[in-house]
Amino acid sequence: MTHRAIRALLLVIGLAAPAGAQDYHGKFTSGVYSADGQQSADVNVRYALGGWTAWAGWYGPHADTRQARTGLEYDLKRPGLVFTPSVQLASRGFAGLSLYSEVGRKAYVIAGLSRTNLAPYMNLTFDPNESWQLGGGVHLGKSDSVAGFTIWDNRLHTGQQNTHVILRHYWPGAKRLTADVSYKSGRDDSGVRLTGLGTAGEFDDRRWFVKVAHDPHANFSEPGMWRLGGGFRF
């Protein structure tokens, strides 16, 4: 099989690349989610070739949220510019499109948007699916960074929005700590207004990584959710 054929095959089966892992093209992640006494699981495989990244995943096992999913994105990176369009497809008829951008060098502006066909979709970032994104960040030293941005509903008139502050710190030897504190507010499906403070953290050590998070109202529902996950690069 030629190199071009192998590249095409990898993209079709939905594998994608981990950000910041220079020695590895692939990434496997699994996670366990616990909310209101019910547990769910997620598995995800990613791979990258050139600027293209693609992925395939599954979330379940409960019938009301079970879903297979895949996606493809392209990372355009230039001095002072990051532009990443992506598409997502999932079982139960879901299709979506998102755009993310950073403009600036040491200090930069963040802007993005997301749009779907409104079919059922378990968004594992727990941000609104129909949304605008706006914020900014700054690079500290050679590799550390801090960023803040808000993602808010722009279509369904729910008033849902999540505001994130994310800090990334690197140590020698390819070790990285990412901390994310978020505040959410907005109405659930029945019109009740929900607010809460979420936290998340991830530690990377070369090939391996672990992550933990707590969301007070996952996908703007009443129960809080704990998430524990990890995986490896290959």
Lowest mean pLDDT among 12-21, 196-205, 210-219: 12-21
Residues 6 or more apart whose CB falls under 8 angstroms from that of 161 comprise: 128, 150, 151, 152, 153, 184, 185, 186
The predicted model gives 92-120 an average pLDDT of 97
6-56 per-position pLDDT tens digit:
343 333 333 333 344 457 899 999 999 999 889 999 999 999 999 999 999
- Report pTM: 0.86
Query: Is the previous residue joined to 61 through a cis bond, with omega within 30 degrees of 0?
Result: yes
Distance from C-alpha of 176 to C-alpha of 100, rounded to nearest angstrom = 22
134-147 per-position pLDDT tens digit:
999 999 988 899 99
Q: Where are the domains of the chain?
A: 35-40+74-233
